[in-house]
Structure 1
Amino acid sequence: MVSDGLGDWKKDITKWALDLGFVAIRFTTAEPIAGLEHFLQTRFEQGMSTPFEHKEIRQRVDPKTVWQDCRGMAVLAYPLPHTVAPDKGEGVLARSAVGEDYHRVINQRLKELNKRMVIHHWPGELRWQVDTGPLVERAFAVRAGLGWIGRNQQLIIPGYGSFVCLALLLLDREIPIDDTISNLCGNCQKCEQACPAQILGKEFFAARNCYSYLTQSKEVLTMAEGKGLGARIFGCDTCQEVCPHNQPWIQEELKDLSPASPKRGVDLLNTLSLTKGEFKNDFFPTAAGWRGKGILQRNAFLAMRHAQDARLNLWLTIREKSKIPSILTPYLERNEER
C-alpha cells in the first residue's frame, strides 16, 4: 500500500512512469513560468512565432488558467523509437514522424499511469497534455530539472539526449519539487553550424524559418525554401543528429536495427502519387498524418524537382490528363527549376 505522504507518492509515480517506458520524470510547481509571458509576446510581435502556437499566451505559461485546481506538475519524457535510415534517393521523415503516432502512444501510457494511481487511492484528481495542449512543455521541463534547452532549441536530458517527446501531468496536490540543472552545451556550436536554415544562435528563434516547420506549413514556399528542404518530407532532425549529447543514442539506434524497426525513408514517387487509401494506411497512423496527404505530396514533388528525378516529368505528363493536386499549382505556375 502507498502511504498518504506526498513524498511517497512522488516515488511511486516515478517508479510507475519508468515501468511504463518513460525515460525520465521530474516534478515542479504549478506557478507560472517567470518571464516567459513577456518573451512569448515579444516573439509574437516580431513575427517569430508559428500558427501552430496557442494564441492565448497566458494559458501557455500558467497551469491554473488551464485547470484552476492545479497545484503541482510532473514532466515526463518518452523515447522516440529507433529507426532505419533512409536509402539514397528516398524522401526523409523525422524520427518523430515514423511508427505509431507518439500522441496516441503517450496518451495510452498516461491512462495506464492514471489507472495505477487510482488503484493505489490517489487522493485527488489529475489532467495531462501531450504536445497539443497550450502549456509550453519545454519550459516546465527546464524548471523541473528534466533537462536544459540546447542551442538547437531542443530539451536535452542529461545522459540520454533529446530524442524524446514530452508530456505534462497536472496534479491537484503539491508534490515535492525537483531542482533545475545547468546548461551543459558549453562552447559547442555544432547544431548552429549544421542547421540547414541557419537560424540557430540568434537572439530570437525564427520558428517560421525552421525547415521542420516549413515541411508542415500550408503556406506557399519560396523557391529558396523549396530547395532548402532537400529530400525532407516531414520534419528535420539535423540539429539533433550532430548534437554530442545524442551520439550514444544514435549509436544504440544503429546497433538496434531489426525488420520491425520503422523506416525514415519513403519512395518519393509513391508519396507524390498517394491515394486516399494509401495515405490512410501508411501515414495517417503516424504523427505525420495530421497535416493531410497534400502537404506530403507537395514536399515529395519539391524533393523530386530539386533532385531532378526523371520520374517527375513522366508523372506530370501522365497527370496532365487527370487532376493534379491543387496544392502543387503555385509551384507549377512559376515553373521553377524546370
Structure 2
Amino acid sequence: MTKDKHTDLIRAKAHDLGFSFVGIAKAEKMDEESQRLEDWLNKNHHGGMAYMANHFELRTDPTKLVSGAKSVISLMYNYHTDLKPLESSYKISTYAYGRDYHKVVRKKMKQLLAFIREEIGEIDGRAFVDSAPVLERDWAKRSGMGWIGKNTLLINPKVGSYYFLSEIISDLDLVSDEPIKDYCGTCTKCIDACPTDAISENGYVVDGSKCISYLTIELKENIPLQFKDQMEDWIFGCDICQEVCPWNRFAERHNESEFEPKAELLEMTKTDWQEITEEVFNHLFEGTPVKRTKYEGLRRNINFSS
C-alpha cells in the first residue's frame, strides 16, 4: 500500500473506534516548543510538579521515545456533556465525571496500534495517553487539529476544547497535515474569567501554580490562603476557561457510556459534599480521575472552599 492509503486506513479505523479527529505531523525535534517549555519551567510555573522538568529531551524529540520515528498521529476523544451537578453545589471538572479517561482511551489506542500492525505490517510504535513526557497539545497543533488558545488548551474551530488528546509515535511514514491559524483574535474571556489570575495578561501562558486545577489536584500540601474565596466552588479541577470560551458553543455531547456520571453525583448538595464519608467517596469515584486526589485530598478541597 502507498503512504496515502496507509494514512486513509488509519484515519478510518480511528473514527470507527470513536475518535472525533485525527491529525498527523512529521516526527521531528521541537525547537520552538523546547524554548517555550524551558522558559515556563525557569519561571517556576510548574509549581510543585517537579516531574515536568524531568526527561526534557524526551518531551521535545519523538525519536528519543521511538527510534526512527517518522510520524506522530494525534487523536481527539470527546468528553463534553450537558449533564451538570446542582448549580448551588460544589463543582468537579467535566472530564472527571466518569471512568478514568486513561483507561478508556488507552484501550482504544492499543486497538488502533494492533490494527495498524495487522493491516500494514510490523512497525515500531508506541501509544501515549497523558502517560509519558509528550507535548500533546503541541503535536495536535502541528497536525492541524486546532490551535493552542490563550487559555493554553487546544481549540478546534468546529467543536471547541472538551477533548482528550492522545498520540501514536511510529516509524511509519504517513501524509502530514498542515497547522491551522489561531482564531482567538482579540478575545480575552478566559483571561478575564480566571479567578486566580493564572492566565497571563496577554494569554498563551498559564502559571500552573495558580491554576485551580493544580491547587485541587496536583498540590499535595495545604492550599495557600491567598486563594481563599477564589475557588468559586471548584473542588476537583476547573472548567472556567473552557466554559467562557466562545468556541465551546459548538461543543457536542460525547457518545462514550463509560464517561457517564453516577446519578447521585449530580444530585449532591453542598451539605452532602461536606458530610461525605470515605465509603461514599469510594462508591462515587471508584475508577474515576477523582480517586487521584484521595479522600483526604477531596476533604481538604471542600473545607477550603467552604
Q: Does 1:25 align with 2:22?
A: yes
- Contact preservation (8 Å) 1:43, 1:49: yes
CA distance in 1, matches of 2:174, 2:238: 36
Q: Give the secondary-structure state (helix, strand or coil) at the position aligned to 1:84.
A: coil
Q: List runs of 5+ in structure 2 lacking aligned partners.
A: none
Q: List runs of 5+ in structure 1 lacking aligned partners.
A: 305-338
> Identity of paired residues, percent?
28
Q: Does 1:191 align with 2:190?
A: yes
Q: Which amino acid aligns with 2:65?
A: V
RMSD across aligned C-alpha pairs, in angstroms?
Answer: 2.3
Deviation at 1:152, TM superposition (A): 1.0
The equivalent of 2:133 in structure 1 is: 134
Quick one: structure 1 residues 71 and 266, their matched pair in 2 at CA, closer, same or farther if it must change by over 3 Å? farther
CA distance in 1, matches of 2:271, 2:63: 48
1:248 to 247, 250, 255: 250
1:225 to 218, 224, 227: 227
Q: Does 1:79 align with 2:78?
A: yes
The equivalent of 1:331 in structure 2 is: none
Quick one: structure 1 residues 248 and 124, their matched pair in 2 at CA, closer, same or farther if it must change by over 3 Å? same
The equivalent of 1:13 in structure 2 is: 10
The equivalent of 1:215 in structure 2 is: 216
The equivalent of 2:92 in structure 1 is: 93
Deviation at 1:5, TM superposition (A): 1.1
Task: Work out the number of aligned pairs and report it.
Answer: 296
Deviation at 1:186, TM superposition (A): 1.1
Q: Give the secondary-structure state (helix, strand or coil) at the position aligned to 2:169.
A: strand
Matches within 5 A, 1:279-294: 279-294=281-296
The equivalent of 2:146 in structure 1 is: 147
Q: Give the secondary-structure state (helix, strand or coil) at the position aligned to 1:295.
A: helix
CA distance in 2, matches of 1:264, 1:198: 28
* TM-score computed with the length of structure 1 as normaliser: 0.81
Matches within 5 A, 1:1-338: 4-50=1-47, 51=49, 53-202=52-201, 204-216=205-217, 217-249=219-251, 252-253=252-253, 261-262=260-261, 266-304=268-306
Could you say which structure has the larger radius of gyration? 1
Quick one: structure 1 residues 15 and 54, their matched pair in 2 at CA, closer, same or farther if it must change by over 3 Å? farther
Deviation at 1:90, TM superposition (A): 1.6
CA distance in 2, matches of 1:87, 1:161: 24
Runs of 4+ in 1 over 6 A off after TM superposition: none
- Contact preservation (8 Å) 2:41, 2:53: no
- Contact preservation (8 Å) 1:33, 1:140: no
CA distance in 2, matches of 1:241, 1:150: 14
Q: Give the secondary-structure state (helix, strand or coil) at the position aligned to 1:90.
A: coil
